Amino acid sequence: DGGITQSPKYLFRKEGQNVTLSCEQNLNHDAMYWYRQDPGQGLRLIYYSQIVNDFQKGDIAEGYSVSREKKESFPLTVTSAQKNPTAFYLCASTTRHGYTFGSGTRLTVV
Amino acid sequence: GIQVEQSPPDLILQEGANSTLRCNFSDSVNNLQWFHQNPWGQLINLFYIPSGTKQNGRLSATTVATERYSLLYISSSQTTDSGVYFCAVDRRGSIQGAQKLVFGQGTRLTINP
């Protein structure tokens, strides 16, 4: 079945550590996105990529980094510069007619 | 930037009831989508509806772009309809091929048996 796979589902990070969230899609979509969701809030755009080897900052890119070396993969690194990283992270890809989201990764700083 | 406001923030209904969720947006958009987030966090795309009316089973949506609002209708609610419903818009002038959605805060719907 086609879809988006995010891993891991739960991730615990110590303060000062970098962590990488995985996002893989087999939908052959060109555009991919990372969103952050805080409790009781809507989603906010972190980074997006339209094609391989190209990506753009979204509204809250500080403290995050991404890469797009393959069409299928768009990993997100949460760096130690991100002061409040505890959140639910969602990856998505699109056609012209709508988004497909992964099931998310819950990141907690311990 | 564009603002998206959803109402009501919370809605509690009995099974079988009908409901209307509203989304207002502050500027012209070239894309509007409705999503349902289930209690486990999964987001499902319900409608891609920049204008007009669409129906899918018990759900339907209408967007009046000139008046900058959209409505999501749920008829004969079931407990599985519970969750958070998000409206999201794509700003006019977004880069071709990229849909940089701006999300509202959501409406939390609880359907009691």
Q: How far is CA A43 from CA A49, A69, A104, B14, B61, in A?
A: 17, 25, 12, 28, 21
Tokens coding B108? 């939390």
Residue B80 host element (H or E): none
pLDDT for position A97: 66
Q: Which residue from A48, A88, A101 is facing B100, i.e. has the nearest CB? A: A48
Helix then strand then coil, % of chain B, to nearest 5: 5, 60, 35
User: pLDDT digits over A28-53, tens only?
Assistant: 999 999 999 998 888 999 999 999 99
Residue A33: other Cβ atoms inside 10 A: 26
Question: How confident is residue A96, by pLDDT bands cut at 50, 70 and 90?
Answer: low
Question: How confident is residue B24, by pLDDT bands cut at 50, 70 and 90?
Answer: very high
B30 chain-A contacts, CB cut-off 8 A? none
Tokens coding A51? 């094609």
Residue A102 contacts residue A22 (beta carbons within 8 Å): no
- Peptide bond before A8: cis, by omega within 30 degrees of 0? yes
User: pLDDT digits over A48-88, tens only?
Assistant: 999 999 999 999 999 999 999 999 999 999 998 888 999 99
Question: How confident is residue B31, by pLDDT bands cut at 50, 70 and 90?
Answer: confident
User: pLDDT digits over B43-88, tens only?
Assistant: 999 999 999 999 999 999 999 999 999 999 999 999 999 999 999 9
User: Is B52's Cβ below 8 Å from some Cβ in A?
Assistant: no
Question: What SS3 state is found at B22?
Answer: strand
Probe site for chain B from A99, A100, A107 (most B CB atoms < 10 A) = A99
**Which residue of chain A comes nearest to B34, CA vs CA?**
A98
Indicate whether B95 pLDDT > 80.
no
B19-33 per-residue burial string, b: 16 or more CB within 10 A, e: under 16? bebebebeeebebbb
